[in-house]
Amino acid sequence: MLGLMQYEQLMISDFIVHAARHHARAEIVSHLAEGIHRQTYRDTELRARKLAQALTRLGVKPGDRVATLAWNTHRHVELYFAISGSAAVVNTVNPRLAPGDIAYIIGHAEDHVLFAEVDFAPLVADVVGRLPAGLLRTVVFLCAAHALPQVDLPSGIDVVAYEALLEAEDGDYGWPRFDERSASALCYTSGTTGRPKGVLYTHRSTTLKAMAMNAADACGLRAVDRLMPAVPMFHVNAWSLPYAATIAGTSLVMPGRFLDGESLYRLIEDERVTFASGVPSVWLGVLAHVRKIGARFSTLQRMAVGGSACPESMFDAYEALGVNIIHAWGMTESSPVATLSNPVSGVDPATARRQRLSQGRVLFGVDLRATRGSTEVPWDGETSGDIELRGHWVATGYYKTPPGTTPDGWFPTGDVGVFDANGFVLLTDRSKDLIKSGGEWISSIDLENIAMGHPAIAEAAAIAAKHPKWDERPVLIVALKPGATVTREELLDFYAGKVARWAVPDDVIFVDELPHGATGKLLKSELRARYADHLVRAKTPGASPD
């Protein structure tokens, strides 16, 4: 027998409608190049409706993918709601990727319309030159008409100013309702190997996730909070926080492209931020600035930190400044937050501290296990296993790729960890061969392929080495061909123009031979065990770098 309760499809547009109606005066503050911009949620919803009308005029149909290359600003929030709310799919593209990867993503997603920041004009020109002819119809620069940049694009591509698009519309638009399982956003991740892979969220997954994020033992946003997401909206929807904020009526303070420690600290203070989120390297930058000027935080109370492991020293330093860190873990494939480290009662202080420093406990709505072979490992705080996930906001696979879950429906994360008796998970290793530097992925395979293209190299492996600022940096380990010579500098120069500058390895280690397993596969785990501390050791005066 069915119950007698009202039923509606879960729609992302409902978040902004709710915010406009019940938190009309809560605001979005954006740090733009021209200064601080403010607008209310009521204005934001109206502008999103105008944008939805404009999208229709640009020929965007339900299910079409629309690309953004944008910083965290009110305009990006409008794009999130207008694109998804009008039944199209917002494809947020990471501008820090190499132009070839950006072009791959836009081509793979088949985006016909691209919204881009003015400062990305040269990047847009480079990327468009790599796209199949005729794919892109319109580039909209996120600016007023008078600020439209000069950019040389092939004929047939319209270049428009965002504000001019909105000015042409009256906002007389009704948000459509449709199947809640419809795609809402498409984010590409480096996944495990090879080309970026698309994770396709739905209205339903996003709604459930955003509501779960607002639970008290998750991020627990409130209408009195002022949230600064320093995690980019081009990376996994800024951990769903812009969605969670509109549901809670929390004001958003958007840092734009100003992500250095000094700018973030100023914005936190000037805009009375109470909650912030981002990767550790960003908060290390803020901490360095705060220490330099001997300041404290007047309003900041809590901070969600994730994307890479939060260093213990950083946790303590912020606690001493009166800021409580919530350590969070997840991945693009899990929208991303799956666990958060909030305290539990009834444990001794040492356990409480260990738990706070761990990656945390799972949110209701997803489940987590660690396995060895096909068996789940015990929650004994010692036995490690491969972490797998399932739940309402976990991907079944990648866009245009066969399903990626295990036969019983669990998603392999590529992370390795242990559970304690309370279900807190501590990540101990990563089985995927990727390097995560300052929150950005670097493909070890790409680095190895380039090294292998050098005439002196017999075999190469790129691994993640620990780094005090960037968490991980790539280090290349190479064996030379008999009789061949190449210096460290020559090899590093060989990467110029082949990968983004920040993806070039920090160091090269020359060995006679690389270790291999029984099937002839490179034993990356052995190399990680041997060289993970290479950069830390090399920086200690007097220590010899392996």
Which among 164-172, 259-267, 412-420, 506-514 is the span making contact with ligand AMP, rule CB under 6 A? 412-420
Kindly tell me the burial class for residue 349, based on how many C-beta atoms sit within 10 Å of its own C-beta (0-12, 13-18, 19 or more): exposed
**Which is closer to ligand AMP, CB of 287 or CB of 387?**
387
Distance CA 395, CA 199 (A): 7
Count CA atoms within 13 Å of residue 430 on its CB side: 19
Catalytic site residue 8?
no
Catalytic residue among 175, 239, 441, 470: 441
- Catalytic entry in 45, 78, 333, 388: 333
Nearest-approach distance from CB 450 to ligand AMP, in angstroms: 22
- CA dist., res. 232 & res. 236, Å (int): 8
Q: Residue 82: how many CB atoms within 10 A of its CB?
A: 28
Cβ pair 283, 268 in contact under 8 A: no
Of 281-340, binders to ligand AMP (CB under 6 A) are: 306-309, 327-329, 331-332, 336
Place of tokens 């909650």: 275
- Hey, what are 164's tokens? 């001019």
Give, as one character, the DSSP assignment of residue 505: -
Q: How many residues bind ligand AMP (CB under 6 A)?
A: 20
> Is the Cβ of residue 13 or residue 308 nearer to ligand AMP in the bound state?
308
Q: Which of 92, 189, 246, 250 is catalytic?
A: 189
- Select from 74, 436, 467, 528 the one that contacts ligand AMP (CB under 6 A): 436
Query: 120: helix, coil or strand?
Result: helix
Cβ atoms within 10 Å of 438's Cβ, excluding its own: 21
Bridge partners for 329 per DSSP: 339
Told to check if 219 binds ligand AMP by CB under 6 A, we report no
Question: For the CA atoms of 499, 505, 511, 514, what is the dihedral angle to 10 degrees?
Answer: -60
Query: Binders of ligand AMP among 175-214, rule CB under 6 A?
Result: 189
User: Which of 214/240 has CB closer to ligand AMP?
Assistant: 240
- Tell me if 340 sits within 8 A of 304, measured CB to CB: yes
Q: Which of 436, 448, 470, 524 is catalytic?
A: 436
Active site residue 470: no
Subset of 355-374 contacting ligand AMP (CB under 6 A): 359
436 a catalytic residue:
yes
Tokens of 23: 């938190």
The nearer residue to ligand AMP, 261 or 280, going by C-beta atoms, is 280
CA 335: distance to chain centroid? Answer: 9
Instruction: Evaluate whether 112 touches 131 at the Cβ level (below 8 Å).
Output: no
Stretch that binds ligand AMP, among 17-25, 113-121, 409-417, 535-543 (CB under 6 A): 409-417
216 DSSP β-pair partners? none
Is there binding between residue 160 and ligand AMP (CB under 6 A)? no
| Distance in Å, CB of 137 to ligand AMP, minimum | 30
Closest to ligand AMP by CB, 325 or 377: 325
440 is catalytic: no
- Residue 91 or 332: the one with the smaller Cβ distance to ligand AMP is 332
Catalytic residues: 189, 333, 436, 441
- Residues near ligand AMP, by CB under 6 A: 189, 236, 306-309, 327-329, 331-332, 336, 359, 413-415, 427, 430, 436, 441
